[in-house]
Amino acid sequence: AGAPDDGETYPQTIRLYRPLEKGEYILRVCGHSMEPQIPDRSLIIVKDTNGEKPKYGSIVAYREGNNFTLKLLSYRKNPKTGKREDILKPTNPAYKDVIPIEGGQISGIYVETLERWEKA
């Protein structure tokens, strides 16, 4: 989550305490917006949405181009139109909400933070 770092843009092999299920993948969190729940530099498991919209209140991986962000999926009333619109909220109050843009997409739903893993 965040912009990919040069050293982390390629697949790495790691050993987990359980196999990944179909549609699951791993992201490294780069940033503090979801602290304290999900600490900076954590490895997390995310499950592909398969095109289905996650429930409000889910933590989602949102992608705009090569950038990912991890946030709570919520909504707000648009002050101009009065219509409900999606919004992505951090758990850390020091960070601002993110309003999804056209062309961006929710690519996955947070499953868990990996506590036990090792490089293979």
- Report yes or no: 97 and 89 within 8 Å, Cβ to Cβ: yes
Q: To the nearest whole number, what is the mean pLDDT of the chain? A: 87
In what side-by-side order are the strands of the sheet with 67-77? 24-28, 43-48, 105-113, 59-64, 67-77, 84-89
- Report yes or no: 38 and 113 within 8 Å, Cβ to Cβ: yes
Question: What's the angle, vertex CA 33, arms to CA 38 and CA 109, rounded to 5?
Answer: 55
pTM higher than 0.75 for the full model? yes
pLDDT classification of 17: cutoffs 50, 70, 90: confident
Task: Please check the confidence at residue 85 and state whether its pLDDT lies above 60.
Answer: yes
Mean pLDDT of 11-15: 78
Task: Please check the confidence at residue 74 and state whether its pLDDT lies above 60.
Answer: yes
Tens of pLDDT, residue by residue over 24-52, are: 999 889 999 999 999 999 999 999 998 89
Say what the pLDDT of residue 5 is: 47
